[in-house]
Amino acid sequence: MPSTTIRIGYVPEHFSTPLYIARDRGFFAENDVAVELVCCPGGTGEMTSKLQNKTLDLAIALTEGLVAGISKGQDWYKIVGTYVDAPLCWAISTGANSKHTSIDTLNKTNVAISRFGSGSHIMAYVLADQQGWLGSEKSDEVFDFEPLNNFQAMRDSVNSDETDFFMWETFTTKPYHDSGEVKRIGQITPPWPAFMFAAHVDLLQNHASDLQRALKAIEKATLLFMEQKENDSVKLVMDTLNYNEEDVRNWFKTVRYALDHSQVSSRALQVTVSTLIKAGVVEAPGLTPESLCDLQVANLV
């Protein structure tokens, strides 16, 4: 019998489809681990908050959000593995009738974000850094931020002119670009893996072996998901999320899941930390990969 039920937080997007496979095909059960999947539409910021209040045990969250959180003193979780190895492409979107037609005019504007500490918040600083807008100013003066909790509210805010733009994963946003609800004016892709696993310190202390078995079950599901990416997996994503077939097939060309979910790239964490320092998100010198991870579960390579 499993010694505990691991509550796993995830975003309701195409990346998370293997979790349903692991649950519905019995991969968790065959690995002798009990799991509850907890949908977190607010993304990384919502998940780190739920880890803090102990309503989650494990989160599949954005690398930059986890690194920034731990670097800023969020000591209730550690990185334990890698989920999506490929980087995330962020679409930059404005209102359908916005005056903004390119990234160039976004300096010192109002940004819609899901929550403070989320990817949509942190990536705005990375954008500002890439565009040369940070200069010698404090980074918090580059933009005004409007935390709106969810994707729908962010789309509504750019159309009501409450905010100027928002950043969200490109394929999740594409249906709203195609329908004309919002306007795509650019994109940004940071040089690190999109999603990592972060576990609450209590889970690590008391149920590390259950966690390792859960990671193995998810790993099996991601492998099957990618093996069937020409047929069954396309249909599964289409049915689950109501995406069109062309978009799903194009997404499969870009995504890459980690082959070993307990591995974490030291170099990827170093690049993330150095980028976040440069963007003014975390303070130098930054944490080492060893400080960001729990090494009884994570295998740094």
**92 vs 124: CA distance, rounded Å:** 10
Per the rule left: phi > 0, alpha: psi between -120 and 50, beta: everything else, 26 is left
Residue 115 has a pLDDT of 85
CB 283 within 8 A of CB 247: no
**Alpha carbon distances (Å) from 231 to 15, 171, 269:** 16, 19, 34
CA-closest candidate to residue 143, choices 122, 170, 174, 172: 122
- Between CA 292 and CA 296, with CA 294 as vertex, the angle to 5 degrees is 155
Chain centroid to Cα 26, Å, comes to 25
- Write out the chain's pLDDT in tens, 301 residues: 677 999 999 999 999 999 999 999 999 999 999 999 999 988 899 999 999 999 999 999 999 999 999 999 999 999 999 999 999 999 999 999 999 999 999 999 999 999 887 889 989 988 998 898 886 655 457 899 999 988 999 999 999 999 999 999 999 999 999 999 999 999 999 989 999 999 999 999 999 999 999 999 999 999 999 999 999 999 999 999 989 999 999 999 999 999 999 999 999 999 999 989 888 889 999 999 999 999 999 999 9
In 46-122, DSSP assigns E strands to 58-62, 77-84, 90-95, 110-113
209: enclosing H helix or E strand: helix 208-227
pTM of the complete model:
0.91
Residue 116 has a pLDDT of 85
Residue 28 has a pLDDT of 98
Residue 139 has a pLDDT of 46
